Amino acid sequence: MTGRAAEPEVIWARPERTGRGPRPAYTRADIAAAAVRIADAEGLDAVSMRRVAAELGCGTMSLYNYVPRKEDLYELMVDAAGGEHELWEPRGDWRADMLRVAHRTRALMHRHPWLPRLMSPVYGFSPNALRYLEHCLACLDPLEAPYGTKLELVAMLNAVVTSFVANELATAERARSLPWSEEQENAMRGAYLGGRIATGAYPRMAAAFAEDPGPIDLEAVFERALGRVLDGFAPRR
């Protein structure tokens, strides 16, 4: 063995306590909670090893006893958020159950607006992610399809929900790091877009914007999107 720093590992496989040495002062849950608190209050970019350590009240480098790399801290955060997902006994209607899953996921992301950004496929197998996946599959028991198809359904639903919420939250989250307000940002991007469209170079875009001046009902758009995804998996008759 040359250097042991480069040994691959998943944080979930590493035991929280090994027996030897002093009792650790914090649990993984403590650390995740601290990081989540910071991200909720000040945005994901405020989550640094130093900041989390300060929140916990310990030295910066002590954190590295619990979390080998910053990426693992992110994994902890995603898993902690996933733990808030309350599951239920499926009622036998897979469509209704999956709609419920999607709505809860959206609500979760509204509560933790940094979630979409961390929703990398890599973090897909944390303990709570496994719980969540198993629950989705349970909801899909009534659907007659191979598990492969069911996994594709879950993946697609998650993709659509994540993308939708990311869109919803985009400017709001962006505004955190900008030296001007969200309203200014929106006004300015709107003005620019209007100018571009007014050139006549994008006739269909122009028509699209001219089409319906009514306010967009995000809830309806979301519901429609979910319905379409699920329709794609309904057994043909």
The residue among 56 and 229 lying less far from its own copies, judged by its C-beta, is: 229
Q: How far is the CB of 99 from its own copies (least distance, A)?
A: 15
**Interaction between residue 163 and DNA (CB under 7 A):** no
The residue among 10 and 96 lying less far from its own copies, judged by its C-beta, is: 10
Q: How many residues bind DNA (CB under 7 A)?
A: 28
54 exposed, middle or buried (CB, 10 Å; 0-12, 13-18, 19+)? middle
Binding mask 69-98 for DNA (x = CB under 7 A): xxx---------------------------
Provide the token pair at 121.
Answer: 């496929």
Tokens 């590992």 belong to: 9
**Interaction between residue 46 and its own copies (CB under 8 A):** no
DSSP of 143-199: S-S-HHHHHHHHHHHHHHHHHHHHHHHHHHHHHTTSSS-HHHHHHHHHHHHHHHHHT
Q: Which does 7 bind (CB under 5 to 8 A by kind): DNA, its own copies, none?
A: its own copies
Beta-carbon contacts of 229 under 8 Å, excluding residues fewer than 6 positions away, are 153, 156, 157, 160
Among the listed ranges 42-50, 90-98, 140-148, 219-227, the one in contact with DNA (CB under 7 A) is 42-50
Q: Which does 213 bind (CB under 5 to 8 A by kind): its own copies, DNA, none?
A: none
Among the listed ranges 21-29, 30-38, 59-67, 180-188, the one in contact with its own copies (CB under 8 A) is 180-188
Nearest to 36 by CA among 121, 103, 104, 118: 118
Tokens 């469209």 belong to: 197
Provide the token pair at 166.
Answer: 């990311």
Q: How far apart are CA 11 and CA 76, in angstroms?
A: 9
Note the residues at the interface with its own copies (CB under 8 A).
Answer: 5-10, 12-13, 120-122, 125, 127, 130, 133-134, 137-138, 141, 146-148, 150-152, 155-156, 158-160, 162-164, 166-167, 170-171, 174, 178-180, 184-185, 187-189, 192-193, 195-196, 201-205, 207-208, 211-212, 221, 224-225, 227-229, 231-233
